[in-house]
Amino acid sequence: QGKNLKAAELYEKSLKRTPNPRAQLEYALLLARMGGRERARKAFQQAVEQDPSSVLAYVGLAKASLETGKTAD
């Protein structure tokens, strides 16, 4: 778990400096694996915004949204 926390911190710092759709998706996947559902949902949303053609980002967003109860009406 400690390595995952460190990795998440590194992703956050890197993504603030240089947005990157692939790194954003990997960050969202990491957060989802760590159980940070709301943070993962937000990260997946950003991944979708950065790369609207990413099916994996949409699937992750849908799953995280269902898990947090924040689905579109």
Report the alpha-carbon distance of residue 67 to residue 2 in Å, rounded: 24
Tens of pLDDT, residue by residue, the chain (73 residues)? 689 899 999 999 999 999 999 999 999 999 999 998 999 999 999 999 999 999 999 999 999 999 888 876 4
The whole-model pTM stands at 0.88
